[in-house]
Amino acid sequence: MKCKAAVALLFGIVFLTSCGPGWNFTPQIGQGEAITEGKVLMIGKFVIDPVWFTEEEKAKYGQEKLDILVGTTNDLSQSVKEGSLYSPDGSFNPVLHEIFYYPVPSGTQYIRSGIVQKVVGQHYVGIAKGQPIFNNLNFFRDIKLSVPSGAKAVYVGTIIYRHDGKHATSIIVRDDYEQALKELAKRKIPGIKPSDVMKRLAVVVK
């Protein structure tokens, strides 16, 4: 996600004041793209339940898909809660309900927060005239991701945020490993085949 778009995405929740230090957006691996040496391919999916984006809203506001901005830290030493300021060690911005492919270092990291925004209108007056108005769906739960040293690829599961329209009410991790392997084969990532993928499902810490 570009800096300007990321800033817009963060209006509803306090993470940082800009796309400066602290927000290191990890780009996804594209179709047929090789992974940087020393990185591990992390495969998974984010889902929100219930569906929060109707076909009517898509047509009305021209927002075809929703993505989720996820902030991670390398440990749990920082206090991370809604309304607080923190500097994540990393961040991802995958499209909801679609398999993601991120090159990451081996080791342990923790998903600490997430935000989904959908367009519900636009400003008609003032300095924000023409800019979109968003509704925010905020998630503050700790989820552990384990990436084994020496692995080529790791599958972390389908992370499902259940919500009440404003906040997470619970999180489950679903094992869709076999389907993920089928999709990986279509991706044609050099040096990575389905048999290389280790299963290390994400663990909800709290």
- List pLDDT tens digits, range 176-186: 999 999 999 99
- Between 194 and 5, the more confident residue is 194
Summarize the confidence of residues 189-206 as an average pLDDT.
Answer: 94
- Other CB atoms within a 10 A radius of the CB of residue 165 amount to 9
DSSP string, 121-157: EE--SSTTTT-EEEEEEEE---EEEEE-TT-SEEEEE
| Helix (H) or strand (E) segment spanning residue 59 | helix 55-61
Q: What is the pLDDT of residue 127?
A: 85
Residue 55: the pLDDT is 84
pLDDT for 194 equals 94
In the predicted structure, residue 2 carries a pLDDT above the cut 90: no
Beta-carbon contacts of 139 under 8 Å, excluding residues fewer than 6 positions away, are 68, 113, 114, 115, 116, 161, 163, 167, 168, 171
Instruction: Find the Cα–Cα–Cα–Cα dihedral 83, 86, 92, 97, rounded to 10°.
Output: -20
The predicted-structure confidence for 3-60, as pLDDT tens digits, reads as follows 334 334 343 333 333 333 445 678 899 889 999 889 999 999 999 999 898 888 888 8
Residue 1 has pLDDT above 90, yes or no: no
* DSSP three-state, residue 13: coil
Look at residue 61 and give its three-state secondary structure.
Answer: helix
Task: Find the range with the poorest average confidence among 30-34, 88-92, 112-116, 122-126.
Answer: 122-126
Query: 137: Cβ–Cβ under 8 A, 6 or more apart, which residues?
Result: 48, 52, 115, 116, 117, 118, 163, 165, 166, 167
